[in-house]
Chains A and B, each alone.
Chain A
Amino acid sequence: MTPLQLILLGVVLAPGAVFALFSLLWLLGWDAPERALTRTTAIVYSVATAAVAWMAWAMHMAGLESIAVPLGDWFTVHDYHFPLVLLADRLSLPFLALTVILVGLIGQFSATYLHRDPGFARFYILLHLFAFGALLIFSAGSFDLIIGGWEMVGLTSVLLISFFHYRLGPVEGALHVFTIYRACDIGLITAAFALHHYAHTASFVNGMPQVSSGDATVIGLLLLLSAAGKSAQVPFSGWLPRAMEGPTPSSAIFYGAISVHAGAYLLLRAQPILAESSIASGAVVLVGLMTALHGTIVGRTSADAKTSLAYAALAQVGVVFMEIGFGWTWVPVMHIIGHAMVRTLQFLRAPSMLRDYHQVHAAAGGQVEKTGKHLESMFPPGVQLWLYRLAMDRGHLDTILERGFVQPLLALSGLLARLDRMGLGAGGPRPEQTRSHRWLISRFR
């Protein structure tokens, strides 16, 4: 292995190793002191930042387009195999850099922010797992491997939303997000299957597999489903404000910076496939457009700091989706990086909004320019009210999902359960009434 390959492997595996180490020690009963966690985090991510910088520089000097690290096959059946391969190219490098820098910063921030919180170690362990997952997504050489990272990011996201698990709100929010994530993950998994089926590989180390236009439509739409779920695009946007139940630094890095852009990265990766299908890229543009409009109108009526930032972020991610749908590459990448930086800082400073506004108000002599009087007032009053309510209820998206999807699904499963009971003989003994159960109980009395 060349030094560059080793570095790439090291950067990706280091957070995973730290995660494994600390969680193992934790399981063994070690109560890690805060300093051990924060120091390790600081060291790992400053070294990783330097490593990524050096990797980019060395690749540039050597004129390398990409480096791949084949790690062998996960498994092989005849000529069917799942290669595990890491890839650093011009698309993944900026994302790798963004991830290590921001995770490092958030680690530093949280050292103070979460000081003395009972969940301190849990937060850091999850942060490392998240970093590992995100780096895996951004350095994966195949869609199969992306799935691995994708799930880790999703899981840590959910676990950090429910960080304050002794309250009802965070747990409910986390469950909601988990459901949407899982439902949308079907897209990515099926897309990977489809690629294996159509192109016999889901790897893109040697260029994106060639598929026909029709197949590209199917795969593109499946990937879009997955990306839309992860990036909270319409119609899944309702989970994003619910994700604000977690501690601020995790809100910042997940929903201001990295996780929320992971969907966009997936589509950027799949751009050659999208390019094959005008339907798929049209759908990406459409979803992006709807999200941008949705985000901006809902954001305009949000009166709390975190929700208003979440929807502001959403609007920009919608624009990024549109840019990807148009077939651009560098514009969305620049947009994502700039946006991630701005939003991270804004999330971290969210509690300052009170003071910021008071200062602006005082400096402006009490005459702050009124907003919401231009565009909004162009509509007739009835439409204004309608629009305002639509925005306040976040586009009724949750209600649409609830009434159009969840309730029919529940009704169907209820029906199936009834059928099931009829088929198996209604009125049969419940497990605790069987003789074997009673015997078991008596044994342990």
Chain B
Amino acid sequence: MSEHGNPKEHLRHVVKHVAHFLPAQGPIGVFIHHNTLHAFQHLPFEKAVLEASNLFQTEPYMTEVEYRDALSRSRIRAEDIDAVLAREADAEIVPGLQRRNLWRAMLTPGVRAFDAAGTAWRMEEGDLAEDFRSPSLRALFHACLALTEAVQSVRPPAGRAADEVVHPWLIRLCSVFLDQGMSYWPMPGREEGFYLAVRKLLSQPGALYPQGLSGVGEEFRRQIVREDSAEDVVMAFLGLDQNNWEPRLREELLALPGWPGLFSQLENDPALFPHDPVPCSLADFLAVRLTLVKVALENGECAAPPPAADPEAERIARAAALYDAARLAKLTAAIVDAWTPQRWSRFVVEVESFDSLERRRVYHLAYERWHEQQILLGLASNRRENPPTNRRLRPLAQVFFCIDEREESIRRALEEVDPLVETFSAAGFFGVAVEYKGIDDARGVSLCPVVVKPQHAIRELATAEDAWLQEQRLFRRRLLARLSRTIQVGSRSLVRGALSTAVLGTLTAVPLITRVLAPRQYGKLRDILNRAFLPVPRTELTLMRDDESSQDKVEGLLLGFSHTEKADRVASVLVPAGLTQGFSRLVVILGHGSTSLNNPHESAYDCGACGGRRGGPNARLFAMMANRPPIRAELATRGIVIPDDTWFIGGDHDTCSDHITLFDLEAVPPTHTDALNTLRVSFDMARARNAHERSRRFESCPPNATPEAALRHVEERSEHLAQPRQECGHATNAVCFVGRREVTRGLFLDRRSFLVSYDPNGDPADENLARLMGAVVPVCGGINLEYYFSRVDNERYGCGSKLPHNVTGLIGVMNGQASDLRTGLPLQMVEIHEPVRILFVVETTPERLEQVILGNPIVKEFVVNRWIRIATMDPDTGRIQIRRDAGYEDLQGELPTLPTAPSSIAWYQGKMDHLPMARIQSAANGGNR
């Protein structure tokens, strides 16, 4: 019976399809932000979140309580709800009652939730009893109760008792199979794949299995005799009815989604394995899982369905919900009693179809509208008051940051400290997609967005005169590695462990006590010792590939860039940003990354545009390329004239400790030393201010701390073993502005806005915009949506609190000792996040933007399905238009006068919450162009 052709083919097809529903997160060492509901991205947002919520048993939005709370503190205003309702279809339910009015009443002040268990009690002693003091309400309730019919409520499905027996085994098997070096004794036979290794292991005689799994050995032995492949096992379990395969497989996989999700990721891209690749396949996982489940079911591990609720109690709860809606709609017992049965049932359908999910959808849209109004009206007002002006002076320096919203504050701080500094931003890999291997790295890693495959390899090598230092460094690092490994392994082994703990163990008190009581000082001490012991050679990057003959291939990659390629890379950053002339004497390119301890999610704080890694090497490489005279000559032919007295410097900003490292300073011409020193002083002041602004969110930093104290505070965070919130990461991100800095300069955007430098005037064919949007929409949209979902359902879309996390196999985290792999973001990263879809504001016209959107299928999907919100700002007039389904709509509402503050500190000092936009005078009066 093969209605779908070859059953094996069909199985592969089904498995591949079902795999889409699994979490798409690779080994945790490299954390790549992506839309948690990527599998649903072809659907409109509101539909997708509901479907996913049904499938995964997750929350699509925040809880009603949270929206009500937002309502009570005017984070949602009545006018926001009205504006959202105005876009919904209206209808007359019964004469005198419009749908919109009913919905509005059910939203604000809002209906209460009733369940079968609690309603009777609430009628006697709770809020309903309070209501009943009013005779009219009591009458209304009884009128509703009399009309309400009992409904057959949907029973929750019986629990999966087999899972309780199967999962502990399955989890342990998965973790030892995928282990990248945590356990001392690797799983025997794992190079043959999961299914074969497990089959061999569990079919050995002489084991004692728990009751629920007894007979698993025989089952695997039968499979050996039959010479089953993994697919045979899966098909045997699924039976002949192929239509049933997909739901069965989906149910089995979603009962424990994290582990098979990782199998699937590693099957698709074995390069994700950090150290020891093993052959991975989802079919293997399924074969093992289904064999165990089969045995457990045969042993009678089935759960009884949950007991039925009392139908009368359910009817009362239903009546109470209807009563509550009727009460809010200002209906009375007399009106309700006078209705015909048809009217009553129309009312019931209307109330019950505006259920909690629907209400939360409307609440959410209103919640987002408030934000949209705040941002767009603020931007429009600022644009009107402070139109972009032409630059008067040559800036002291120009600094490129990453578009990352966390860099917004340090850019502003730098502009405040030195108004003569001009800042730009570009995606943090700065156009150089490379496979990079530093002097301390074991192998090369891709430093570019994940969607890009680097074609070029860059190696960091010690300079010729420092080669001996590098030799020494290498040797000593090996020595340290061996020592550290011996201690790590030895302290966990029996004999070596006994000797070392008994004899030397007490000495551990010293690091234990210092690390807990004085983490920052410990970090400093460690750095001093490192510097004393490990010499640091000067290095250079192998970026040369000036002639054809040197096209040495390294693992299929080109070593370094040719002239044209270099010029392309440099131009790809400078041109869209509009920096083609008027270069200052110093141009600094700052990549970023984040350093923290005891943090399996460390990579999630790194640069998203560098594939969850640090962008420092890219910045350094960019600067080196831009400094080469032949490249400048090539660039000059393309209209980018870099004066001879302009010098590029690469650097790295640590978003956790707020350290700024500048590279290759010995190469800076002596003529630029003074300017460099001035700039470094400004950097130091800016990073202290940045630390201070970040610290306003930290309860543990005293609110009256000086910037210097705040800098020490964030340094300590980065070194603290116990710190679960090393930094706030991308939390609170909500906006992405694509346009000239002059439009946003001087605005306090509260570290919530990605900023992409884009000069609409230098882009007649919209090529630059298309390239920028193609890169930033998936990156920023992915980050934003991952935060959204991890925030609205932290336990299921996110990975819950970090505190019980336990690193497993060096590839992920579990809760405790035997849980599913936890994917998504931890509670500590998202707790202050406001879940709104990111609002793009692009400096262009609707016609131009629409062309760009339709020209890129990925961007189109994001925009058309409303996974992001988008608006345009006219480059000449500043007119703002918002993209709706029906077309572009002018921004409504009165332009506010933005509050002003002399400095950022004056605006945020002493406040912990999200802050509205404001004009910061000291940052605004720069030498803008």
Which A residues fall within an 8 A CB radius of B? Answer: 101, 105, 108-117, 163-164, 167, 169-170, 173, 241-242, 244-249, 292-293, 295-296, 299-310, 312, 315-316, 319, 331, 334-335, 337-346, 348-366, 368-372, 376, 381-382, 384-386, 388-393, 396, 398-400, 402-403, 407
**Contact indicator B184/A300 (Cβ below 8 Å):** yes
Please indicate the chain B residues that have their CB under 8 angstroms from the CB of A247 in the complex.
803-804
**Contact indicator B508/A345 (Cβ below 8 Å):** yes
B80-88, B458-466, B482-490: which one contacts chain A?
B482-490
Within the assembled complex, what's the spacing in Å between the Cα atoms of A94 and B78? Answer: 66
Provide a sorted-by-A list of 28 A–B residue pairs whose CB atoms are within 8 angstroms.
A105-B512, A111-B722, A112-B722, A112-B723, A112-B724, A113-B723, A115-B725, A116-B699, A117-B801, A248-B803, A303-B176, A331-B502, A338-B503, A338-B508, A341-B509, A341-B512, A346-B491, A348-B516, A353-B810, A355-B602, A359-B481, A363-B478, A363-B480, A386-B204, A388-B187, A388-B201, A389-B201, A402-B210
Closest residue on chain B to residue A370 by CB atoms:
B186
Whole-angstrom distance from the CB of A232 to the nearest CB of chain B? 13
Within the assembled complex, what's the spacing in Å between the Cα atoms of A408 and B454? Answer: 63
Closest residue on chain B to residue A444 by CB atoms:
B124
B366-374, B439-447, B909-917: which one contacts chain A?
B439-447
B494 contacts the other chain (CB 8 A): yes
Please indicate the chain A residues that have their CB under 8 angstroms from the CB of B808 in the complex.
303-305
Checking B178, B211, B598 against A407 with a beta-carbon cut-off of 8 angstroms, the contacting residue is B211
Q: When A and B form their complex, which 7 residue pairs have the shortest distance between CB atoms, in order from nearest?
A: A338-B505, A366-B442, A372-B185, A363-B481, A245-B816, A304-B808, A312-B492
Do A164 and B700 form a contact, CB below 8 Å, given A244-B816, A358-B274? Answer: no
Please indicate the chain B residues that have their CB under 8 angstroms from the CB of A169 in the complex.
815-816, 818-819
Do A170 and B816 form a contact, CB below 8 Å, given A341-B505, A361-B181? Answer: yes
**Contact indicator B809/A304 (Cβ below 8 Å):** yes
**Contact indicator A306/B806 (Cβ below 8 Å):** yes
Whole-angstrom distance from the CB of B809 to the nearest CB of chain A? 4
B600 contacts the other chain (CB 8 A): yes
B179 contacts the other chain (CB 8 A): yes
Given A164-B801, A342-B508, A398-B210, 5 more A-B residue pairs with CB atoms under 8 Å apart are A302-B183, A335-B502, A335-B505, A358-B274, A393-B207
**Contact indicator B597/A399 (Cβ below 8 Å):** no
Within the assembled complex, what's the spacing in Å between the Cα atoms of A300 and B444? Answer: 30
Closest residue on chain A to residue B509 by CB atoms:
A341
**Contact indicator B807/A354 (Cβ below 8 Å):** yes
**Contact indicator B516/A109 (Cβ below 8 Å):** yes
- Residue of A300, A344, A381, A407 contacting most chain B CB atoms (<10 Å): A300
For window 168-223 of B, CB contacts with A under 8 Å fall at: 169, 172-173, 175-176, 178-189, 200-202, 204, 206-211
Checking B442, B508, B699 against A115 with a beta-carbon cut-off of 8 angstroms, the contacting residue is B699
Do A304 and B185 form a contact, CB below 8 Å, given A117-B801, A117-B803? Answer: no
**Contact indicator A109/B721 (Cβ below 8 Å):** yes
Please indicate the chain B residues that have their CB under 8 angstroms from the CB of A363 in the complex.
440, 477-478, 480-481, 484
**Contact indicator A357/B815 (Cβ below 8 Å):** no
Whole-angstrom distance from the CB of B175 to the nearest CB of chain A? 4
Whole-angstrom distance from the CB of A100 to the nearest CB of chain B? 13
Which B residues fall within an 8 A CB radius of A? Answer: 28-29, 169, 172-173, 175-176, 178-189, 200-202, 204, 206-211, 274-275, 440-443, 474, 477-478, 480-482, 484-485, 488-489, 491-494, 497-498, 500-509, 511-513, 515-517, 597-600, 602, 699-700, 720-725, 801, 803-810, 814-819, 831
Please indicate the chain B residues that have their CB under 8 angstroms from the CB of A244 in the complex.
806, 816-817
**Contact indicator A304/B722 (Cβ below 8 Å):** no
Do A376 and B185 form a contact, CB below 8 Å, given A169-B815, A388-B201? Answer: yes
Please indicate the chain B residues that have their CB under 8 angstroms from the CB of A396 in the complex.
207-208
**Contact indicator B807/A356 (Cβ below 8 Å):** no
Please indicate the chain A residues that have their CB under 8 angstroms from the CB of B200 in the complex.
385
Within the assembled complex, what's the spacing in Å between the Cα atoms of A359 and B182? Answer: 14
Do A364 and B505 form a contact, CB below 8 Å, given A164-B801, A303-B179, A386-B204? Answer: no
Closest residue on chain B to residue A102 by CB atoms:
B512
Please indicate the chain B residues that have their CB under 8 angstroms from the CB of A393 in the complex.
169, 172, 207-208
Closest residue on chain A to residue B485 by CB atoms:
A360
Whole-angstrom distance from the CB of A344 to the nearest CB of chain B? 6
**Contact indicator A388/B185 (Cβ below 8 Å):** yes
Please indicate the chain A residues that have their CB under 8 angstroms from the CB of B516 in the complex.
105, 108-109, 348
Whole-angstrom distance from the CB of A227 to the nearest CB of chain B? 19
**Contact indicator B504/A308 (Cβ below 8 Å):** no
Do A366 and B816 form a contact, CB below 8 Å, given A341-B512, A361-B181, A372-B186? Answer: no
Within the assembled complex, what's the spacing in Å between the Cα atoms of A399 and B831? Answer: 41
Checking A173, A292, A300, A392 against B172 with a beta-carbon cut-off of 8 angstroms, the contacting residue is A392
Please indicate the chain A residues that have their CB under 8 angstroms from the CB of B443 in the complex.
366
Whole-angstrom distance from the CB of B831 to the nearest CB of chain A? 7
Please indicate the chain A residues that have their CB under 8 angstroms from the CB of B598 in the complex.
348-352
**Contact indicator A241/B807 (Cβ below 8 Å):** no
Whole-angstrom distance from the CB of A37 to the nearest CB of chain B? 14
Closest residue on chain A to residue B598 by CB atoms:
A351
Checking A109, A299, A304, A309 against B175 with a beta-carbon cut-off of 8 angstroms, the contacting residue is A304
Do A365 and B478 form a contact, CB below 8 Å, given A360-B488, A393-B207, A403-B211? Answer: yes
Please indicate the chain A residues that have their CB under 8 angstroms from the CB of B188 in the complex.
381, 384-385, 388
Closest residue on chain B to residue A355 by CB atoms:
B602
Whole-angstrom distance from the CB of A395 to the nearest CB of chain B? 9
Please indicate the chain A residues that have their CB under 8 angstroms from the CB of B484 in the complex.
356, 359-360, 363
**Contact indicator A364/B442 (Cβ below 8 Å):** yes
Please indicate the chain B residues that have their CB under 8 angstroms from the CB of A242 in the complex.
816-817
Please indicate the chain A residues that have their CB under 8 angstroms from the CB of B599 in the complex.
351
Please indicate the chain A residues that have their CB under 8 angstroms from the CB of B512 in the complex.
105, 341, 344-345, 348
**Contact indicator B502/A364 (Cβ below 8 Å):** no
Whole-angstrom distance from the CB of A157 to the nearest CB of chain B? 15
Please indicate the chain B residues that have their CB under 8 angstroms from the CB of A361 in the complex.
181, 275, 442
**Contact indicator A362/B441 (Cβ below 8 Å):** yes
**Contact indicator B480/A352 (Cβ below 8 Å):** no
Closest residue on chain B to residue A111 by CB atoms:
B722
- Residue of A108, A296, A339 contacting most chain B CB atoms (<10 Å): A339
Please indicate the chain B residues that have their CB under 8 angstroms from the CB of A292 in the complex.
494
Whole-angstrom distance from the CB of B676 to the nearest CB of chain A? 31
Within the assembled complex, what's the spacing in Å between the Cα atoms of A249 and B723? Answer: 12
Please indicate the chain B residues that have their CB under 8 angstroms from the CB of A319 in the complex.
494, 498
Whole-angstrom distance from the CB of A365 to the nearest CB of chain B? 6
Please indicate the chain B residues that have their CB under 8 angstroms from the CB of A302 in the complex.
182-183
Please indicate the chain A residues that have their CB under 8 angstroms from the CB of B172 in the complex.
303, 392-393
**Contact indicator A345/B515 (Cβ below 8 Å):** yes
Whole-angstrom distance from the CB of B535 to the nearest CB of chain A? 14
Checking B184, B474, B720 against A372 with a beta-carbon cut-off of 8 angstroms, the contacting residue is B184
Checking A109, A342, A362 against B440 with a beta-carbon cut-off of 8 angstroms, the contacting residue is A362
**Contact indicator A300/B498 (Cβ below 8 Å):** no
Checking B485, B508, B816 against A369 with a beta-carbon cut-off of 8 angstroms, the contacting residue is B485
- Residue of A110, A343, A363, A407 contacting most chain B CB atoms (<10 Å): A363
Please indicate the chain A residues that have their CB under 8 angstroms from the CB of B169 in the complex.
393
Please indicate the chain A residues that have their CB under 8 angstroms from the CB of B275 in the complex.
357, 361, 368
**Contact indicator B442/A304 (Cβ below 8 Å):** no
Do A339 and B502 form a contact, CB below 8 Å, given A303-B183, A363-B440? Answer: yes
**Contact indicator A382/B204 (Cβ below 8 Å):** yes
Please indicate the chain A residues that have their CB under 8 angstroms from the CB of B700 in the complex.
112, 115
**Contact indicator A304/B201 (Cβ below 8 Å):** no
Checking B186, B204, B493, B513 against A385 with a beta-carbon cut-off of 8 angstroms, the contacting residue is B204
Within the assembled complex, what's the spacing in Å between the Cα atoms of A108 and B516? Answer: 7
Please indicate the chain B residues that have their CB under 8 angstroms from the CB of A346 in the complex.
491
Checking B183, B208, B481 against A360 with a beta-carbon cut-off of 8 angstroms, the contacting residue is B481
**Contact indicator B803/A113 (Cβ below 8 Å):** yes
**Contact indicator A338/B502 (Cβ below 8 Å):** yes
Please indicate the chain B residues that have their CB under 8 angstroms from the CB of A399 in the complex.
208-210
**Contact indicator B501/A348 (Cβ below 8 Å):** no
**Contact indicator B489/A371 (Cβ below 8 Å):** yes
Within the assembled complex, what's the spacing in Å between the Cα atoms of A173 and B810? Answer: 24
Within the assembled complex, what's the spacing in Å between the Cα atoms of A293 and B495? Answer: 11
